[in-house]
Amino acid sequence: MTPFLAAAGPSGLTAYIPLIFVFILATFIGLDVIRNVSRLLHTPLMSLTNAISAVVIVGAILVAGPSVSDEHPLWITILGLVAIAAASVNIVSGFLITNRMLKMFKSRKPEEKS
């Protein structure tokens, strides 16, 4: 696993500037997008972001992925697998419950106007 920026510098902060840019811009997008979320939907929003934050499964897979060897001890793999399971709980329950809640939101039915 060669991180695509590792070659740019051994320890310098400069190698990480592009990632810091990404972080800052993503935060601005996030603040703007979330501000426009309807207050009606703040509970589903929270369960949706629960599921989205389970993207940490990506890191967990990278830890659990390499075959076990002297350089990659078994217990590291086990930590990674536990992390994968924990993140999967959030992915599955987060998306399912968000969908379940959103199905309940209905507009006023036209026949009730009579």
Partner 1 sequence: MSPEFRDAAVQVTYLVASVLFIFSLKWMNSPQSARRGVWAGVWAMVLGVGGTLLNPAVAVSSLPWIALAVMVGGLIGVPLSKVPLTAVPQRTALSHAFGGLAAGLVGTAKYYLWLHEGGANLTTFRMFAISAEVILGFLTFTGSLMAAGKLQEILPGRPITYRGQLMINFLTLGGAIACATGLIINPQWFFLFPPLVILSLAFGVMLIIPIGGADMPTVIALLNAYAGLSAVAMGFVLDNTLLIIAGALDGSSGLILSIIMCKAMNRSFSNVLFGAFGSAQEAAGGEAGKTVKSASAAEAAEIMGQADEVVIVPGYGMAVAQAQHRVRELYDQLTKRGIKVKFAIHPVAGRMPGHMNVLLAEADIPYDDLIEMEEINPEMPQVDVVLVLGANDVVNPAAKNNPKSPIHGMPIIEADRAKTVLAVKRSMKPGFAGIDNELYTMDKTLMVFGDAKAVVGDMAKALAGDSGMH
Tell me which residues in 45-74 interact with partner 1 (CB under 8 A). Answer: 45-67, 71-73
The answer to whether 77 and 23 are in contact (CB under 8 A) is no
Per-residue x/- marks for partner 1, 84-113, CB under 8 A?
xxxxxxxxxxxxxxxxxxxxxxxxxx--x-
Q: Which amino acid is at 81?
A: L
Residues constituting the chain: 114
Q: Which amino acid is at 88?
A: S
Residue 103 Cβ vs partner 1, minimum distance, rounded to whole Å: 7
CA dist list (Å): 30 to 27, 38, 45, 64:
5, 15, 13, 30
Residue 8 Cβ vs partner 1, minimum distance, rounded to whole Å: 10
Q: Which of residues 17-46 bind partner 1 (CB under 8 A)?
A: 19, 22-23, 26-27, 29-31, 33-46
Residue 21 Cβ vs partner 1, minimum distance, rounded to whole Å: 10
Q: Which two tokens stand for residue 40?
A: 């009606």
